[in-house]
């Protein structure tokens, strides 16, 4: 049966050469789409190619273009010989068309005024009563961010600390420091964060000797054509300090002069309206007293600082009932391990926590590297949070769109956060991950506990839901992962 269909497809393919465009629909057909992603720019117009094979007139068929997660509300629906008004995704209204020529078997989708939300996977779906075929086309976008902003601060030991930052990039850009001669300066202090639209900000700092003639340049780039550069002369910040002191002295003098004037005025009023002014003065003093006693505003948590977030550590345990059947939970809910059995389970290979969070700050630590089993290291794992209503079956991908925010490791591929597309994070070695969920700031941060350093922050964790910590010891990987007390 199967080979019969194959043979038919082969035969049809062989005859395609001689088939002319207006041929009626054959019994079976396939779709031809590009292998790699289609790259576009913001606000541009782009075509997602999709063609029938063999080529024939598609006009009597149904053509449906939809986002992988949204087949019921497609970007475009063509049926009964025309493009349908409903049910379609309103975000695409007036921006989509089929321009390739349906009569020639070309069902390519043209999308105009591309927005950031348009990035992602599209499905080209063609059907008649007897047969259907679908194929995926990935739309990716290069977005050039802001010009880098450079600043200088004292770095201690006679050196200066130069900081470079730039925002609004996609995908992850490369940041390069160069000296006056154009030689690249190696630097590991590079930090990426994402905003609510999934655009990335990058920042980096560098210690160097102050100079009045040797500038430094900072370049942020995606490619040769898509790059932004800024330069700075790394002056000693001392010059700034002097300027600041002068400003301070001037301000103090001004303040003295002002208070003298106020005193004189009050005295003057004292003499004219004695009774009334007494009480007024009292009130004035009272206000002054109060403002001095006022507690300083409780400082927000500096997300980059691990020493501050570790204070929110909680006792988290895994909920065995939520575990994929190939995952064994032991040590009173502290350890998860993949054991080879029952691989028919269609859920994601992870386990959720017993605890869920909808407000305030929460921190936990997971040991993700265990050398006690076998002789090689961990092959894969992921940790993070899941929305409490997130889809449990592995038919949906583990992405923020589906309610998952995670940091993952895979041997050979390295460390990634699950933005869509995934963002690689510059971590070399990681054995204990610190996870900090700040429901009030709608952010989720990951830390390298051994080096006490920040790895990545998601800023778009929407908290109209509750979140559960999620733990995956990886698939077909005997190494366990453990929540640390
Ligand atoms: C997008 O492109 C259109 C024309 O193609 C132009 O009128 C419009 O100003 C552009 N919008 C932005 C934000 O660049
Ligand atoms: C199909 O149509 C698109 C859009 O007009 C066009 O870019 C593409 O080249 C066409 N494909 C072929 C094979 O002609
Ligand atoms: C340099 O400045 C950055 C912030 O801009 C800071 O994170 C870093 O710790 C500073 N480095 C030194 C050595 O002072
Ligand atoms: C888009 O960005 C990618 C990744 O940084 C880069 O490799 C590619 O050359 C860029 N594409 C264009 C057309 O500039």
- Reported confidence tier of residue 185, pLDDT bands at 50, 70, 90: very high
Residue 260, both tokens = 């003298």
* Superfamily of domain 149-237, CATH level 4: Immunoglobulins (2.60.40.10)
Residue 383, both tokens = 């940790």
* Superfamily of domain 19-142, CATH level 4: Immunoglobulins (2.60.40.10)
Is 424 a pocket residue for ligand 4 (Cβ < 6 Å)? no
Structure confidence at residue 442 (pLDDT)? 82
- Report the alpha-carbon distance of residue 294 to residue 298 in Å, rounded: 11
Is 115 a pocket residue for ligand 1 (Cβ < 6 Å)? no
Per the DSSP assignment, residues forming a β-bridge with 446 are 435, 456
- Find, among 7, 23, 113, 19, the residue nearest to 59 by Cα: 23
Instruction: Tell me the pLDDT tens digit for each residue of 303-330.
Output: 668 888 888 999 999 999 999 988 999 9
Helices 274-293 and 238-272 cross at an angle (nearest 10°) of 150
Looking at 196-210, 301-315, 380-394, 396-410, which range is the least confident one? 301-315
SS3 at position 309: helix
Q: Flag whether pLDDT at 111 surpasses 50.
A: yes
Structure confidence at residue 354 (pLDDT)? 95
- Reported confidence tier of residue 188, pLDDT bands at 50, 70, 90: confident
Q: Mean per-residue pLDDT for 245-260?
A: 56
Looking at 129-138, 296-305, 469-478, which range is the least confident one? 296-305
Please name the residue whose Cα sits nearest to atom 14 of ligand 3. 155
Name the strand (E) or helix (H) holding 391: none
Instruction: Tell me the pLDDT tens digit for each residue of 344-390.
Output: 788 889 999 999 998 889 999 999 987 666 556 678 999 999 998 88
- Indicate where the chain has its CATH 2.60.120.920 domain(s): 303-483
Q: Mean per-residue pLDDT for 28-39?
A: 92
Residue in 43, 141, 168 to alter for ligand 1 test, most ligand atoms within 8 A of Cβ: 43
Q: Flag whether pLDDT at 278 surpasses 70.
A: no
Q: What is the pTM of this model?
A: 0.48
| Average pLDDT in the chain | 81
Residue in 21, 49, 97 to alter for ligand 2 test, most ligand atoms within 8 A of Cβ: 49
Identify which ligand lies nearest to the alpha carbon of 161. 3
Q: Mean per-residue pLDDT for 464-483?
A: 89
Give the residue carrying structure tokens 């006693």.
293
Q: Mean per-residue pLDDT for 86-101?
A: 91
Give the residue carrying structure tokens 């395609």.
16
Residue in 106, 107, 110 to alter for ligand 2 test, most ligand atoms within 8 A of Cβ: 106
Q: How far is the CA of 113 from the centre of ligand 1 (A)?
A: 7
Q: How far is CA 263 from the centre of its chain?
A: 57
- Report the alpha-carbon distance of residue 457 to residue 425 in Å, rounded: 11
Is 163 a pocket residue for ligand 3 (Cβ < 6 Å)? yes
Please name the residue whose Cα sits nearest to atom 3 of ligand 4. 222
Residues 6 or more apart from 271 whose CB is under 8 A from it? none
- Report the alpha-carbon distance of residue 64 to residue 51 in Å, rounded: 13
Q: Which CATH class is domain 303-483?
A: mainly beta
The full DSSP string for 87-109 is S--GGGTTTEEE-S-GGGTB-PE
- Indicate where the chain has its CATH 2.60.40.10 domain(s): 19-142, 149-237
Strands (E), 374-452: 380-387, 404-410, 414-417, 423-424, 432-438, 443-448
Give residue ranges with CB within 6 A of ligand 2: 47, 49, 51, 99-100, 106, 108
- Reported confidence tier of residue 435, pLDDT bands at 50, 70, 90: very high
């Amino acid at each position: 049966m199967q080979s019969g269909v194959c043979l038919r497809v082969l035969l049809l393919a062989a005859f395609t050469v001689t088939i002319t465009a207006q041929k009626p629909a054959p019994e079976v057909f396939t779709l031809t789409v590009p292998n790699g992603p289609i790259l576009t720019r913001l606000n541009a117009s782009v075509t997602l190619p999709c063609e029938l094979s063999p080529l024939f007139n598609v006009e009597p068929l149904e053509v449906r273009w939809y986002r992988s997660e949204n087949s019921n509300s497609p970007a475009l629906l063509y049926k009964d010989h025309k493009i349908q008004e409903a049910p379609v995704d309103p975000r695409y209204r007036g921006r989509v068309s089929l321009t390739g020529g349906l009569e020639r078997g070309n069902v390519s989708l043209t999308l105009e005024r591309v927005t950031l939300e348009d990035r992602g996977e599209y499905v080209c779906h063609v059907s008649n009563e007897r047969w259907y075929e679908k194929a995926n086309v990935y739309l990716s976008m290069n977005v050039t961010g802001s010009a880098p902003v450079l600043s200088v601060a004292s770095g201690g030991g006679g050196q200066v600390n130069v900081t470079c930052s730039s925002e609004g990039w996609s995908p992850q850009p490369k940041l390069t420091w160069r000296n006056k001669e154009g030689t690249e300066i190696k630097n590991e202090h590079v930090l990426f964060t994402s905003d609510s639209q999934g655009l990335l900000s990058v920042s980096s700092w560098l210690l160097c000797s102050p100079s009045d003639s040797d500038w430094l340049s900072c370049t942020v780039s995606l490619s040769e054509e898509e790059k932004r550069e800024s330069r700075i002369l790394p002056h000693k910040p001392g010059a700034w300090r002097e300027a600041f002191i002068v400003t301070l002295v001037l301000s103090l003098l001004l303040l003295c002069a002002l208070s003298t004037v106020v005193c004189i005025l009050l005295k003057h009023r004292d003499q004219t309206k004695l009774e009334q002014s007494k009480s007024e003065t009292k009130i004035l003093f009272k206000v002054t007293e109060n403002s001095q006693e006022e507690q300083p505003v409780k400082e927000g948590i500096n997300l980059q600082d691990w020493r501050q977030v570790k204070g929110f550590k909680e006792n988290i345990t895994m909920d065995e009932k939520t575990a994929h059947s190939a995952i064994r939970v032991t040590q009173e809910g502290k350890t998860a391990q993949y054991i080879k059995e029952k691989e028919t389970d269609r859920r994601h290979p992870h386990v959720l926590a017993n605890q869920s969070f909808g407000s305030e700050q929460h921190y936990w630590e997971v040991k993700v590297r265990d050398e006690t089993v076998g002789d090689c290291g961990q092959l894969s794992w992921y940790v993070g949070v899941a929305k409490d209503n997130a889809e449990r079956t592995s038919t949906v991908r583990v992405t923020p769109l589906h309610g998952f925010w995670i940091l993952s490791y895979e041997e050979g591929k390295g460390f990634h956060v699950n933005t869509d597309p995934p963002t690689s994070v510059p971590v070399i070695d990681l054995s204990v991950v610190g996870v900090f969920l700040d429901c009030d700031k709608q952010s989720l941060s990951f830390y390298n506990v051994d080096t006490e350093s920040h790895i990545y922050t998601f800023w778009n964790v929407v908290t109209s839901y509750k979140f559960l910590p999620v733990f995956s010891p990886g698939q077909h990987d005997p190494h366990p992962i453990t929540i640390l007390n």
